[in-house]
Amino acid sequence: MDRIRIIGGRPLHGEIPIGGAKNAALPLMAAGLLTDERLVLTRVPRLADIVTLGDLLAQHGIAVEKTDAEGRVLSLGGAITNTEAPYDIVRKMRASILVLGPLLARCGEARVSLPGGCAIGTRPVDLHLKGLEQMGALIELEGGYVVAKVRGRLKGATIIFPMVSVGATENLLMAASLADGQTVLRNAAREPEIIDLCHCLTAMGARISGIGTGELVIEGVERLHGATHAIIPDRIETGTYACAVAIAGGEVLLRDARMDHLGAVARVLEEAGIAITELPEGVRVQRRNGLHGADVMTEPYPGFPTDMQAQFMALMTVADGASMITESIFENRFMHVSELTRMGARVNVHGASAIVRGVPQLAGAPVMATDLRASSSLILAGLAARGETVVSRVYHLDRGYEDVEGKLSAVGARVERLKD
Protein backbone atom coordinates (compact mmCIF):
# COMPACT_ATOMS: atom_id res chain seq x y z
CA MET A 1 0.00 0.00 0.00
CA ASP A 2 1.30 3.46 -0.91
CA ARG A 3 2.27 5.98 1.72
CA ILE A 4 2.85 9.74 1.53
CA ARG A 5 5.96 11.26 3.11
CA ILE A 6 6.00 14.94 4.04
CA ILE A 7 8.89 16.96 5.40
CA GLY A 8 7.28 19.95 7.07
CA GLY A 9 8.29 23.56 7.35
CA ARG A 10 8.17 24.98 3.82
CA PRO A 11 5.86 27.84 2.82
CA LEU A 12 3.83 27.38 -0.37
CA HIS A 13 4.10 29.71 -3.37
CA GLY A 14 2.66 29.45 -6.88
CA GLU A 15 -0.46 27.89 -8.35
CA ILE A 16 -2.54 24.80 -7.69
CA PRO A 17 -5.10 23.74 -10.32
CA ILE A 18 -8.48 22.76 -8.83
CA GLY A 19 -10.16 19.81 -10.54
CA GLY A 20 -13.80 18.94 -11.12
CA ALA A 21 -15.81 18.14 -8.00
CA LYS A 22 -15.98 14.46 -7.05
CA ASN A 23 -19.33 14.90 -5.30
CA ALA A 24 -20.79 16.62 -8.35
CA ALA A 25 -19.31 14.10 -10.81
CA LEU A 26 -20.80 11.04 -9.07
CA PRO A 27 -24.51 12.02 -9.29
CA LEU A 28 -23.91 13.43 -12.79
CA MET A 29 -22.59 10.04 -13.90
CA ALA A 30 -25.64 8.35 -12.36
CA ALA A 31 -27.78 10.78 -14.40
CA GLY A 32 -26.35 9.04 -17.48
CA LEU A 33 -28.81 6.22 -16.67
CA LEU A 34 -31.74 8.57 -17.33
CA THR A 35 -31.33 8.58 -21.11
CA ASP A 36 -30.34 6.29 -23.99
CA GLU A 37 -28.57 9.20 -25.62
CA ARG A 38 -25.00 10.30 -24.88
CA LEU A 39 -24.27 12.33 -21.78
CA VAL A 40 -20.85 13.93 -22.12
CA LEU A 41 -19.23 15.19 -18.91
CA THR A 42 -16.16 17.40 -19.03
CA ARG A 43 -13.68 18.34 -16.27
CA VAL A 44 -14.07 14.87 -14.76
CA PRO A 45 -11.54 14.40 -11.93
CA ARG A 46 -9.25 11.37 -12.13
CA LEU A 47 -10.15 9.61 -8.90
CA ALA A 48 -10.72 6.10 -7.62
CA ASP A 49 -14.40 6.84 -6.85
CA ILE A 50 -15.02 7.89 -10.46
CA VAL A 51 -13.56 4.57 -11.66
CA THR A 52 -15.78 2.69 -9.20
CA LEU A 53 -18.96 4.39 -10.42
CA GLY A 54 -17.82 3.87 -14.04
CA ASP A 55 -17.52 0.13 -13.29
CA LEU A 56 -21.01 0.10 -11.80
CA LEU A 57 -22.53 1.90 -14.80
CA ALA A 58 -20.70 -0.46 -17.15
CA GLN A 59 -22.27 -3.48 -15.52
CA HIS A 60 -25.71 -1.83 -15.92
CA GLY A 61 -24.87 -1.87 -19.66
CA ILE A 62 -23.78 1.76 -20.07
CA ALA A 63 -20.71 2.36 -22.23
CA VAL A 64 -18.40 4.68 -20.30
CA GLU A 65 -15.78 6.06 -22.67
CA LYS A 66 -12.93 8.47 -22.10
CA THR A 67 -12.93 10.67 -25.16
CA ASP A 68 -9.85 12.84 -24.55
CA ALA A 69 -6.18 11.99 -24.04
CA GLU A 70 -6.14 13.07 -20.38
CA GLY A 71 -9.26 11.13 -19.39
CA ARG A 72 -11.14 14.24 -18.25
CA VAL A 73 -14.05 13.88 -20.67
CA LEU A 74 -16.43 10.96 -20.15
CA SER A 75 -19.06 9.99 -22.63
CA LEU A 76 -21.83 7.81 -21.22
CA GLY A 77 -24.51 6.11 -23.28
CA GLY A 78 -26.32 2.96 -24.27
CA ALA A 79 -29.21 0.84 -23.16
CA ILE A 80 -29.60 -0.43 -19.60
CA THR A 81 -29.22 -4.20 -19.74
CA ASN A 82 -29.05 -5.00 -16.03
CA THR A 83 -30.79 -3.26 -13.12
CA GLU A 84 -28.77 -4.86 -10.33
CA ALA A 85 -26.07 -2.95 -8.42
CA PRO A 86 -24.04 -5.72 -6.75
CA TYR A 87 -22.63 -5.66 -3.22
CA ASP A 88 -19.07 -6.06 -4.53
CA ILE A 89 -19.17 -2.58 -6.08
CA VAL A 90 -21.57 -0.80 -3.70
CA ARG A 91 -19.50 -1.78 -0.63
CA LYS A 92 -16.56 0.14 -2.11
CA MET A 93 -18.51 3.36 -2.41
CA ARG A 94 -21.77 4.42 -0.76
CA ALA A 95 -22.56 6.91 -3.52
CA SER A 96 -23.50 3.83 -5.62
CA ILE A 97 -26.99 4.20 -4.06
CA LEU A 98 -27.44 7.11 -6.50
CA VAL A 99 -28.23 4.63 -9.29
CA LEU A 100 -31.42 3.57 -7.46
CA GLY A 101 -33.63 6.53 -8.43
CA PRO A 102 -32.53 6.65 -12.09
CA LEU A 103 -32.82 2.85 -12.59
CA LEU A 104 -36.28 2.76 -11.06
CA ALA A 105 -37.46 5.77 -13.07
CA ARG A 106 -36.09 4.37 -16.34
CA CYS A 107 -36.76 0.64 -15.98
CA GLY A 108 -39.50 0.36 -13.34
CA GLU A 109 -37.25 -1.88 -11.25
CA ALA A 110 -33.90 -1.94 -9.49
CA ARG A 111 -32.02 -4.24 -7.16
CA VAL A 112 -29.33 -2.27 -5.36
CA SER A 113 -27.18 -3.57 -2.55
CA LEU A 114 -27.59 -1.60 0.66
CA PRO A 115 -24.38 0.23 1.44
CA GLY A 116 -22.88 -1.21 4.61
CA GLY A 117 -21.34 0.57 7.57
CA CYS A 118 -19.02 3.46 7.01
CA ALA A 119 -16.06 4.83 8.96
CA ILE A 120 -17.64 8.24 9.60
CA GLY A 121 -21.15 7.21 10.71
CA THR A 122 -24.05 4.80 10.21
CA ARG A 123 -25.28 6.73 7.16
CA PRO A 124 -28.71 5.18 6.58
CA VAL A 125 -30.54 5.60 3.25
CA ASP A 126 -34.08 5.65 4.68
CA LEU A 127 -34.85 9.08 3.24
CA HIS A 128 -34.02 7.87 -0.28
CA LEU A 129 -36.30 4.85 0.15
CA LYS A 130 -39.21 6.68 1.81
CA GLY A 131 -39.17 9.33 -0.91
CA LEU A 132 -39.30 6.71 -3.67
CA GLU A 133 -42.14 4.92 -1.84
CA GLN A 134 -44.06 8.20 -1.75
CA MET A 135 -43.61 8.29 -5.52
CA GLY A 136 -45.30 4.89 -5.81
CA ALA A 137 -42.39 2.46 -5.58
CA LEU A 138 -42.78 -0.85 -3.75
CA ILE A 139 -39.62 -1.43 -1.82
CA GLU A 140 -38.48 -4.55 0.00
CA LEU A 141 -35.22 -5.55 1.59
CA GLU A 142 -34.00 -8.98 0.48
CA GLY A 143 -30.65 -10.47 1.40
CA GLY A 144 -28.99 -7.09 1.94
CA TYR A 145 -30.48 -5.67 -1.26
CA VAL A 146 -33.06 -2.94 -1.80
CA VAL A 147 -35.53 -4.42 -4.25
CA ALA A 148 -37.63 -1.66 -5.77
CA LYS A 149 -40.43 -1.91 -8.32
CA VAL A 150 -43.03 0.38 -9.76
CA ARG A 151 -45.95 -0.39 -12.03
CA GLY A 152 -45.81 2.08 -14.91
CA ARG A 153 -44.08 5.37 -14.12
CA LEU A 154 -43.19 6.84 -10.75
CA LYS A 155 -45.77 9.41 -9.70
CA GLY A 156 -45.04 12.99 -8.67
CA ALA A 157 -45.36 13.63 -4.92
CA THR A 158 -44.67 16.25 -2.27
CA ILE A 159 -41.74 15.06 -0.20
CA ILE A 160 -40.75 16.87 2.97
CA PHE A 161 -37.31 15.82 4.16
CA PRO A 162 -37.05 15.66 7.97
CA MET A 163 -33.34 16.50 7.64
CA VAL A 164 -31.22 17.83 4.81
CA SER A 165 -29.66 15.03 2.77
CA VAL A 166 -27.49 15.63 -0.26
CA GLY A 167 -27.80 12.08 -1.59
CA ALA A 168 -31.56 11.75 -1.01
CA THR A 169 -32.17 15.10 -2.73
CA GLU A 170 -30.09 13.92 -5.72
CA ASN A 171 -31.73 10.49 -5.98
CA LEU A 172 -35.25 11.91 -5.83
CA LEU A 173 -34.44 14.79 -8.16
CA MET A 174 -33.30 12.31 -10.81
CA ALA A 175 -36.28 10.00 -10.24
CA ALA A 176 -38.72 12.94 -10.32
CA SER A 177 -37.36 14.16 -13.64
CA LEU A 178 -38.90 11.13 -15.36
CA ALA A 179 -41.96 10.77 -13.09
CA ASP A 180 -45.56 11.33 -14.06
CA GLY A 181 -46.63 14.76 -12.77
CA GLN A 182 -45.17 17.27 -10.36
CA THR A 183 -42.79 16.50 -7.52
CA VAL A 184 -42.00 19.01 -4.79
CA LEU A 185 -38.89 18.42 -2.66
CA ARG A 186 -39.06 20.48 0.55
CA ASN A 187 -36.06 21.01 2.85
CA ALA A 188 -33.95 19.91 -0.11
CA ALA A 189 -30.15 20.23 0.03
CA ARG A 190 -28.77 23.41 -1.56
CA GLU A 191 -25.14 22.35 -2.09
CA PRO A 192 -23.44 23.61 -5.27
CA GLU A 193 -23.30 19.93 -6.38
CA ILE A 194 -27.15 19.81 -6.30
CA ILE A 195 -27.32 22.99 -8.39
CA ASP A 196 -24.84 21.45 -10.85
CA LEU A 197 -27.01 18.33 -11.13
CA CYS A 198 -30.11 20.52 -11.70
CA HIS A 199 -28.31 22.38 -14.50
CA CYS A 200 -27.25 19.15 -16.20
CA LEU A 201 -30.73 17.62 -15.88
CA THR A 202 -32.22 20.81 -17.32
CA ALA A 203 -29.82 20.55 -20.26
CA MET A 204 -31.11 16.98 -20.70
CA GLY A 205 -34.69 18.28 -20.92
CA ALA A 206 -35.82 18.13 -17.28
CA ARG A 207 -38.15 20.84 -15.97
CA ILE A 208 -36.94 22.03 -12.58
CA SER A 209 -37.65 25.26 -10.74
CA GLY A 210 -36.42 26.58 -7.40
CA ILE A 211 -32.82 25.64 -8.28
CA GLY A 212 -30.50 26.73 -5.46
CA THR A 213 -33.31 26.95 -2.91
CA GLY A 214 -34.57 24.48 -0.33
CA GLU A 215 -37.73 23.81 -2.38
CA LEU A 216 -37.28 22.15 -5.75
CA VAL A 217 -40.28 21.69 -8.03
CA ILE A 218 -39.89 19.13 -10.80
CA GLU A 219 -42.42 18.65 -13.62
CA GLY A 220 -41.76 15.11 -14.81
CA VAL A 221 -41.17 14.50 -18.51
CA GLU A 222 -41.52 11.26 -20.49
CA ARG A 223 -37.96 11.17 -21.71
CA LEU A 224 -34.68 12.96 -21.32
CA HIS A 225 -32.07 13.43 -24.04
CA GLY A 226 -28.29 13.67 -24.25
CA ALA A 227 -26.29 16.76 -23.26
CA THR A 228 -22.77 18.02 -22.63
CA HIS A 229 -22.01 19.37 -19.19
CA ALA A 230 -18.89 20.80 -17.50
CA ILE A 231 -18.54 19.73 -13.86
CA ILE A 232 -18.06 22.51 -11.28
CA PRO A 233 -14.67 22.86 -9.59
CA ASP A 234 -14.25 20.96 -6.33
CA ARG A 235 -15.00 23.25 -3.37
CA ILE A 236 -13.62 20.74 -0.88
CA GLU A 237 -10.34 20.39 -2.78
CA THR A 238 -10.29 24.20 -2.87
CA GLY A 239 -10.88 24.46 0.89
CA THR A 240 -8.27 21.78 1.59
CA TYR A 241 -5.53 23.61 -0.35
CA ALA A 242 -6.62 26.91 1.20
CA CYS A 243 -5.97 25.26 4.58
CA ALA A 244 -2.61 23.98 3.24
CA VAL A 245 -1.52 27.56 2.52
CA ALA A 246 -2.93 28.68 5.85
CA ILE A 247 -1.00 26.06 7.81
CA ALA A 248 2.27 26.17 5.85
CA GLY A 249 2.32 29.93 5.10
CA GLY A 250 2.87 31.56 1.70
CA GLU A 251 0.60 32.66 -1.11
CA VAL A 252 -1.04 30.44 -3.73
CA LEU A 253 -3.53 30.91 -6.55
CA LEU A 254 -6.11 28.13 -6.56
CA ARG A 255 -6.74 28.14 -10.28
CA ASP A 256 -10.39 27.74 -11.40
CA ALA A 257 -11.63 27.67 -7.79
CA ARG A 258 -14.95 29.42 -7.15
CA MET A 259 -15.22 31.76 -4.21
CA ASP A 260 -19.04 31.75 -4.41
CA HIS A 261 -19.03 27.99 -3.66
CA LEU A 262 -16.94 28.25 -0.51
CA GLY A 263 -19.86 29.28 1.72
CA ALA A 264 -18.80 29.58 5.36
CA VAL A 265 -15.27 28.27 4.66
CA ALA A 266 -14.01 31.59 3.29
CA ARG A 267 -15.43 33.56 6.20
CA VAL A 268 -14.00 31.19 8.82
CA LEU A 269 -10.55 31.21 7.21
CA GLU A 270 -10.63 35.02 7.19
CA GLU A 271 -11.53 34.95 10.87
CA ALA A 272 -8.48 32.74 11.43
CA GLY A 273 -6.28 35.40 9.79
CA ILE A 274 -6.07 34.23 6.17
CA ALA A 275 -6.56 36.60 3.24
CA ILE A 276 -8.80 35.12 0.54
CA THR A 277 -9.37 37.06 -2.67
CA GLU A 278 -11.62 36.25 -5.60
CA LEU A 279 -9.88 36.70 -8.97
CA PRO A 280 -11.13 36.06 -12.51
CA GLU A 281 -8.80 33.04 -12.75
CA GLY A 282 -9.59 31.55 -9.33
CA VAL A 283 -9.09 32.28 -5.66
CA ARG A 284 -5.88 33.63 -4.10
CA VAL A 285 -5.02 32.50 -0.57
CA GLN A 286 -2.37 34.20 1.52
CA ARG A 287 -1.22 33.90 5.09
CA ARG A 288 0.02 37.26 6.26
CA ASN A 289 0.55 37.02 10.01
CA GLY A 290 -0.32 34.55 12.72
CA LEU A 291 -3.25 32.14 12.87
CA HIS A 292 -6.09 32.72 15.30
CA GLY A 293 -8.44 30.14 16.78
CA ALA A 294 -11.99 30.17 15.35
CA ASP A 295 -15.06 28.12 16.27
CA VAL A 296 -17.02 26.17 13.67
CA MET A 297 -20.02 23.90 13.55
CA THR A 298 -20.62 21.72 10.52
CA GLU A 299 -23.94 22.31 8.76
CA PRO A 300 -25.56 21.75 5.38
CA TYR A 301 -24.53 24.28 2.71
CA PRO A 302 -23.99 27.22 2.92
CA GLY A 303 -22.83 26.38 6.47
CA PHE A 304 -19.40 25.00 7.21
CA PRO A 305 -19.09 21.61 5.41
CA THR A 306 -18.46 18.40 7.33
CA ASP A 307 -16.05 17.52 4.49
CA MET A 308 -13.78 20.39 5.66
CA GLN A 309 -13.95 19.68 9.39
CA ALA A 310 -10.85 17.47 9.66
CA GLN A 311 -8.71 19.83 7.57
CA PHE A 312 -9.84 22.86 9.58
CA MET A 313 -9.04 21.03 12.80
CA ALA A 314 -5.49 20.37 11.55
CA LEU A 315 -5.17 24.11 10.98
CA MET A 316 -6.50 24.97 14.42
CA THR A 317 -3.94 22.69 16.12
CA VAL A 318 -1.29 25.37 15.42
CA ALA A 319 -3.46 28.50 15.82
CA ASP A 320 -3.19 30.97 18.71
CA GLY A 321 -5.73 30.20 21.41
CA ALA A 322 -8.52 27.66 21.50
CA SER A 323 -11.20 26.71 19.01
CA MET A 324 -14.31 24.62 19.34
CA ILE A 325 -15.21 22.36 16.43
CA THR A 326 -18.67 20.81 16.48
CA GLU A 327 -19.62 18.02 14.07
CA SER A 328 -23.38 17.99 13.55
CA ILE A 329 -23.70 15.87 10.39
CA PHE A 330 -21.89 12.57 11.07
CA GLU A 331 -21.62 10.91 14.48
CA ASN A 332 -18.14 9.45 14.10
CA ARG A 333 -16.10 11.97 12.19
CA PHE A 334 -13.34 12.67 14.70
CA MET A 335 -11.07 9.76 13.91
CA HIS A 336 -8.29 12.09 12.82
CA VAL A 337 -8.09 13.40 16.40
CA SER A 338 -6.05 10.52 17.76
CA GLU A 339 -3.63 10.70 14.80
CA LEU A 340 -3.24 14.49 15.16
CA THR A 341 -2.59 13.93 18.87
CA ARG A 342 0.31 11.63 17.92
CA MET A 343 1.83 14.66 16.20
CA GLY A 344 1.58 16.80 19.35
CA ALA A 345 -1.86 18.36 18.84
CA ARG A 346 -3.91 19.15 21.96
CA VAL A 347 -7.49 18.13 21.22
CA ASN A 348 -10.22 16.98 23.62
CA VAL A 349 -13.42 15.53 22.27
CA HIS A 350 -16.66 15.91 24.26
CA GLY A 351 -19.52 14.27 22.39
CA ALA A 352 -20.00 16.07 19.09
CA SER A 353 -17.52 18.84 19.94
CA ALA A 354 -13.77 19.00 20.03
CA ILE A 355 -11.79 21.64 21.86
CA VAL A 356 -8.52 22.33 20.11
CA ARG A 357 -5.82 24.22 22.00
CA GLY A 358 -3.22 25.52 19.60
CA VAL A 359 0.42 24.52 20.10
CA PRO A 360 3.44 26.40 18.66
CA GLN A 361 4.44 23.48 16.44
CA LEU A 362 3.51 19.90 15.61
CA ALA A 363 6.10 17.13 15.38
CA GLY A 364 6.23 14.74 12.41
CA ALA A 365 5.19 11.12 13.08
CA PRO A 366 3.98 8.03 11.25
CA VAL A 367 0.18 8.30 11.10
CA MET A 368 -2.68 6.37 9.56
CA ALA A 369 -5.46 7.69 7.35
CA THR A 370 -8.92 6.48 8.40
CA ASP A 371 -11.15 8.11 5.78
CA LEU A 372 -10.87 10.50 2.87
CA ARG A 373 -10.96 13.87 4.62
CA ALA A 374 -9.05 12.58 7.67
CA SER A 375 -6.24 11.65 5.24
CA SER A 376 -5.98 15.16 3.89
CA SER A 377 -5.98 16.64 7.40
CA LEU A 378 -2.93 14.52 8.26
CA ILE A 379 -1.13 15.76 5.16
CA LEU A 380 -1.88 19.35 6.19
CA ALA A 381 -0.56 18.65 9.68
CA GLY A 382 2.58 17.18 8.10
CA LEU A 383 3.17 20.40 6.14
CA ALA A 384 3.35 22.34 9.41
CA ALA A 385 5.19 19.73 11.48
CA ARG A 386 8.85 19.61 12.36
CA GLY A 387 10.57 16.71 10.57
CA GLU A 388 9.03 13.78 8.74
CA THR A 389 5.42 12.63 8.67
CA VAL A 390 4.46 9.44 6.85
CA VAL A 391 0.75 8.94 6.16
CA SER A 392 -0.21 5.33 5.47
CA ARG A 393 -3.45 3.89 4.01
CA VAL A 394 -3.34 6.49 1.26
CA TYR A 395 -6.00 4.64 -0.75
CA HIS A 396 -8.55 6.71 1.20
CA LEU A 397 -6.94 9.87 -0.16
CA ASP A 398 -6.91 8.57 -3.73
CA ARG A 399 -10.71 8.31 -3.64
CA GLY A 400 -11.09 12.06 -3.57
CA TYR A 401 -7.86 13.96 -4.26
CA GLU A 402 -6.06 13.84 -7.58
CA ASP A 403 -2.25 13.93 -7.43
CA VAL A 404 -1.91 15.57 -4.00
CA GLU A 405 1.83 14.99 -3.96
CA GLY A 406 2.27 16.56 -7.41
CA LYS A 407 0.08 19.58 -6.65
CA LEU A 408 1.76 20.31 -3.30
CA SER A 409 5.32 19.69 -4.61
CA ALA A 410 4.70 22.16 -7.43
CA VAL A 411 4.16 24.95 -4.87
CA GLY A 412 7.27 24.12 -2.88
CA ALA A 413 6.19 21.51 -0.33
CA ARG A 414 8.36 18.45 0.24
CA VAL A 415 5.81 15.71 -0.36
CA GLU A 416 6.35 12.38 -2.08
CA ARG A 417 4.52 9.13 -2.60
CA LEU A 418 6.31 6.02 -1.39
CA LYS A 419 5.25 3.03 -3.48
CA ASP A 420 5.23 -0.37 -1.82
Instruction: Give the interface with ligand EPU as residue ranges (CB under 6 A).
Output: 23, 26, 95, 121, 123-128, 163, 165-168, 305-307, 329-330, 372-373, 400
Residue number, 26 or 252, with CB nearest to ligand EPU: 26
Residue nearest to ligand EPU (CB): 167
Cβ neighbours, 10 Å, residue 366: 14
Residue number, 132 or 246, with CB nearest to ligand EPU: 132
DSSP state of 233: B
Options 118, 198, 200, 243, the catalytic residue: 118
Residue number, 24 or 319, with CB nearest to ligand EPU: 24
Q: Shortest gap between Cβ of 11 and ligand EPU (angstroms)?
A: 27
CB-based contact 186:115 (threshold 8 Å): no
Q: Shortest gap between Cβ of 396 and ligand EPU (angstroms)?
A: 9
Residue number, 3 or 128, with CB nearest to ligand EPU: 128
Largest CA distance in the chain: 64
Q: Shortest gap between Cβ of 234 and ligand EPU (angstroms)?
A: 9
Q: Shortest gap between Cβ of 371 and ligand EPU (angstroms)?
A: 7
DSSP state of 232: P
Residue number, 3 or 373, with CB nearest to ligand EPU: 373
Side chain identity at residue 339, one-letter code: E
Q: Shortest gap between Cβ of 333 and ligand EPU (angstroms)?
A: 8
Angle (nearest 5°) at CA 240 between 370 and 43: 100
Q: Is 118 a catalytic residue?
A: yes
Q: What's the CA gap between 219 and 126, in Å, rounded? A: 24
CA distances from 20 to 17, 106, 410 (A): 10, 27, 19
Q: What's the CA gap between 273 and 309, in Å, rounded? A: 17
Q: What's the CA gap between 343 and 364, in Å, rounded? A: 6
CB-based contact 335:311 (threshold 8 Å): no
Q: 202 in the Ramachandran plot: left (φ > 0), alpha (ψ -120 to 50) or beta?
A: alpha
Q: Annotated catalytic sites, by residue?
A: 118
